[in-house]
Amino acid sequence: MRSDANIAGPMTDPVPGPRTELSGEDVSRETPPPMDDTPIGRAAQLAVEALGRAGEGLPRPEQTRVMVVANQKGGVGKTTTTVNLAASLALHGGRVLVVDLDPQGNASTALGIDHHAEVPSIYDVLVDSKPLSDVVQPVPDVEGLFCAPATIDLAGAEIELVSLVARESRLERAIEAYEQPLDYILIDCPPSLGLLTVNALVAGAEVLIPIQCEYYALEGLGQLLRNVDLVRGHLNPKLHVSTILLTMYDGRTRLASQVADEVRSHFGGEVLRTSIPRSVRISEAPSYGQTVLTYDPGSSGALSYLEAAREIALRGVNVNYDAQHAHALPEFSQHDQHSSMQEGIQ
Ligand SMILES: Nc1ncnc2c1ncn2[C@@H]1O[C@H](COP(=O)(O)OP(=O)(O)OP(=O)(O)O)[C@@H](O)[C@H]1O
Ligand SMILES: [Mg+2]
């Protein structure tokens, strides 16, 4: 496993695949589409900007960054964040592998990767020591993006792993033996702290915790952080929480900003300045086997994941990300239900 900055240059067509450039930014389907200086017109403009932005390219890490996307709380946006950040990093010019470590296989589905029971999968890697290269598939429509899919077999792996040699470090070994050059590996964890998540924590150096901006957001996080400490102490000294991402941020609610404040006062520097707004487009994309980046590149969801990816890439090379220099994000009117987006970027 190595990073090779010369492998993937800036892409000529950064967002291949179907585009819905004129689909309004999460605008209700019932709303008749207005013209020109309207949310829809602005969304079209933003789509174009987003494409230009993606083509810019970003500094690439010297070594492959292995990021574990974990939170044992269910439904906080782990999978959504994994696939959309991975696609954003790939569109920014990186080579990115998504490892689907959840038996639900949601990341595989969202990336349009076949993962029925017979498909070679991460289960074969973990339990039968199959090389990772035998299961990795290219993601359709996004150059530089790859996926190691999960099948339903993985549901039994937690138990099967117990009796295997080096049960906690099987993923780490598989990744170390993987020869392909990569800039990022993003591991989508299941909502639990079992052996699958432990394998991810042993394999990675960075933990990325998505936190949903809602009541009880921080509940259970202590347990995750204790697990990170335990793994760091016994199995993986380089492990640390590098990134916290606020998801499903709804700026119309006071609760969301209260949660955001609390998370920022708790974690400080690890929290990305970019937060991800609640967005219908983000939740629709997986049912088309797509990320929001290809499904609706001009939507607030796509733009915020692109921006979050930019922030992560800059942090990785120690460039200070300053919100002042952040790409302008869309301005929505007071009456626009998507004002959350603007408020979400703090
Ligand atoms: N920013 C967002 N706006 C709107 N919906 C979202 C957003 N992020 C995630 N969702 C939706 O919330 C639900 C949960 O998201 P997701 O599957 O990513 O969470 P998860 O943490 O991976 O869940 P699990 O713990 O089951 O693996 C999904 O239906 C997803 O489409
Ligand atoms: Mg998930």
Note the pLDDT tens digit of each residue in 14-32: 333 333 333 333 433 333 3
Please provide residue 71's backbone torsions phi and psi, each rounded to the nearest 5 degrees: -175, 120
The Cα 139–Cα 118 span in angstroms is 18
Residue nearest atom 3 in ligand 1 by C-alpha distance: 278
CA 33 / ligand 2 centre spacing (Å):
34
Q: How far is the CA of 77 from the centre of ligand 1 (A)?
A: 4
The rounded distance, in Å, linking the Cα atoms of 151 and 155 is: 8
Q: Which atom of ligand 1 is nearest to the CA of 210?
A: 21
Q: How far is the CA of 284 from the centre of ligand 1 (A)?
A: 11
- Rounded to two decimals, what is the model's pTM? 0.83
72 alpha carbon, closest ligand = 1
- Residues 186-216: tens digit of each pLDDT: 999 999 999 999 999 999 999 999 999 888 8
CB 91 within 8 A of CB 97: no
Ligand 1 atom with the shortest distance to the CA of 80: 18
**212 CA closest ligand 1 atom index:** 8
| Dist. CA 342 → ligand 1 center (Å) | 21
Residue 259 burial (CB count, 10 A) = 21
Residues in the chain, overall count: 346
Phi and psi at 26, nearest 5°, equal: 55, 20
Each residue of 40-64: pLDDT tens digit?
Answer: 555 555 554 555 555 567 889 999 9
Q: How large is the average pLDDT for residues 299-318?
A: 93
Confidence of residue 217 (pLDDT cuts 50, 70, 90): confident
Q: Considering only CA atoms, which residue is closest to atom 20 of ligand 1?
A: 75
| 316 to 60, 62, 64, 96, 256: CA distances (angstroms) | 8, 9, 10, 15, 28
| CA 80 to ligand 2 center in whole angstroms | 7
Indicate the helix (H) or strand (E) that contains 69: strand 65-69
Mutate to test the pocket of ligand 1, among 76, 79, 193, 305 (most ligand atoms within 8 A of CB): 79
Atom of ligand 1 nearest to the CA of 189: 27
Residue 339 Cα to ligand 2 midpoint, Å, equals 27
Pairing relationship of beta strands 137-138 and 96-100 according to DSSP bridges? unpaired
At residue 19, the pLDDT reads: 30
**Distance from Cα 9 to the centre of ligand 1, integer Å:** 32
Closest approach atom of ligand 1 to CA 301? 1
How many contiguous H segments (helices) and E segments (strands) does the chain have? 13, 7
Decide if 146 contacts 97 (C-beta within 8 A): yes
Residue 234: pLDDT over 50:
yes
Q: Which ligand is nearest to the CA of 70?
A: 1
Gap between the Cα atoms of 309 and 326, Å rounded: 12
Closest CA to 101 of 143, 133, 149, 138: 149
In angstroms, the Cα distances linking 275 to 124, 230, 291 are 36, 29, 17
What does the alpha-carbon distance between residue 247 and residue 256 come to, in Å, rounded to a whole number? 10
Looking from the CA of residue 278, the nearest atom of ligand 1 is 3
228 pLDDT more than 80: yes
- Write the pLDDT tens digit of every residue in 81-99: 999 999 999 999 999 999 9
On the CB side of 157, how many CA atoms lie within 13 Å of its CA? 30
Ligand 1 lining (C-beta closer than 6 Å): 74-80, 102, 106, 191, 247-248, 276, 278-279, 282-283, 301
Determine the Cα–Cα distance for residues 95 and 51; give it in Å rounded to an integer.
Answer: 18
The kind and range of the H/E element at 210 are strand 206-212
> Mean pLDDT lowest for which of 43-47, 105-109, 189-193, 238-242?
43-47
Locate the ligand 1 atom nearest the alpha carbon of residue 280 and give its number.
4
Give kind and range of the element (H or E) at residue 224: helix 221-234
Query: Per-residue confidence at 141, pLDDT binned at 50, 70, 90?
Result: confident
Ordered by where they begin, the domains of the chain are 64-345 (3.40.50.300)
In this prediction, residues 234-251 reach a mean pLDDT of 96
Angle between helices 300-316 and 78-91 (to 10 degrees): 70
Give residue-wise pLDDT tens across range 174-193: 999 999 999 999 999 999 99
Mean pLDDT in residue range 231-260: 94
Measured between alpha carbons, how far is residue 290 from residues 106, 155, 302, 303 in Å?
11, 24, 12, 15
311 touches 322 (CB < 8 A): no
By alpha-carbon position, which residue is closest to atom 5 of ligand 1?
283
Output the residue whose Cα is nearest ligand 1's atom 16: 77
User: Which one is predicted more confidently, 3 or 267?
Assistant: 267
Residue type, 276: I
